[in-house]
Structure 1
């Protein structure tokens, strides 16, 4: 499920014209889609690393200036996720902890990962809207 969602998000990134990816917003305070993708990557990096290793550090915001650099960052984060994934046990997913980044009530690590996926879906939906405003047909949702 994570892989199919990410492929769809990458298809949205690929459809953006380079300048619009980094600069277009339909209205303040909305952010450019590249900023949203960076947030998706930061959450994935921080949560997967924390769940797998118990090292709860939030990566500094990466600076990417081109669509190619953003796509490469997406690939690098996913490679790291796939390296760490075998260390995440079912027992670890059910453990509840206070969120180290947002300080919310204790939640299971599975809930944390589901939230991360929902965040990606939410921002991808914004990307779809941005593409439509730019006159670009977004990718078919059902092709993963």
Structure 2
């Protein structure tokens, strides 16, 4: 019997989720992607995407280099630029990923990004994945409110 979760299988899980998220972004009309909100207190889907890209980049860089800094991508004012930013962040993840070992995933440390409590790097990456899934669910709701059929959830 093989390992339940390996760095390679974790990356593939992240990749499958990102492929689905990209299809959600593509389903949005450009205007609504950047301006539609379900309620005044909510954000457009594009802002949610920027958030999880920022988290992914910060966590991967932090796990590999020890540099824990949030840097939001800027100038993402078209659907194509947002899709390009998704591709760029994921490409950086793929480039750094070979340096992420099981030992590194199980290392518990502080990151100073979201609170002082130490956590494992695996916990960070699971949080990042959950955050993307959560916001993608909001994107599905937004699309349905706009009368647009979202992409099938089961196609990764």
Q: Is the shorter-chain TM-score for this pair beyond 0.5, marking a shared fold? A: yes
Q: TM-score, normalised by structure 2?
A: 0.90
Gaps of 5+ in 1: none
The alignment's C-alpha RMSD in Å is: 0.9
- State the match for 1:28 in structure 2: 40
Shifted more, 51-60 versus 15-24: the winner is 51-60
Q: Does 1:136 align with 2:145?
A: no
Q: Secondary structure at the match of 1:100?
A: coil
- State the match for 1:80 in structure 2: 92
Q: Deviations over 1:74-104 (max 9, x none)?
A: 0000000000000111111111112320124
Equivalent of 1:18 in 27, 30, 45? 30
Count of residues in correspondence between the two structures: 144
Q: Deviations over 1:16-68 (max 9, x none)?
A: 00000000001121000000000010000000000011111211442211000
- State the match for 2:10 in structure 1: none
Where in structure 2 are the equivalents of 1:1-144 lying within 5 Å?
1-144=13-156
Task: Please list every run of at least 4 consecutive aligned residues from structure 1 whose deviation after the TM superposition is greater than 2 angstroms.
Answer: none
